Amino acid sequence: MNYDDWLLQNSVTQLQQTPVAIIGMACIFPQASSLQAYWENIIGKVDCITEVPPSRWKIDEYYNPDPTSPDKTYCKRQRFHPRDRL
């Protein structure tokens, strides 16, 4: 066994014997203030992708359905979260 193989095997063995604890997680979900609400949206088949609200940007200035149009977006829908800051 060459050194690289030995090192890889030794590392894998060491990782398998080392306990790991996940002590916290954080995420932001569209139209859900908690993980529970997020799963309820999934189960309820809630469409959390919405049209861009006027408070975000003026759609008439930036939207063009032609994806090749320069300096424009061809998408009017996005996921939003109340705490988003643009």
DSSP-based helix, strand, coil % in the chain, nearest 5? 35, 10, 55
pTM of this prediction? 0.48
- Residue-wise pLDDT tens digits, 13-33: 777 777 777 787 777 888 888
Which pLDDT does position 83 carry in this prediction?
A: 60
Where do the domains of the chain lie?
23-79
Residue found under tokens 């940007």: 57
Burial of 52 (0-12, 13-18, 19+ CB in 10 A): middle
Alpha helices, DSSP H only, in the chain? Answer: 3-17, 35-43, 59-62
Rounded to an integer, what distance in angstroms lies between the CA atom of residue 49 and that of residue 69?
A: 23
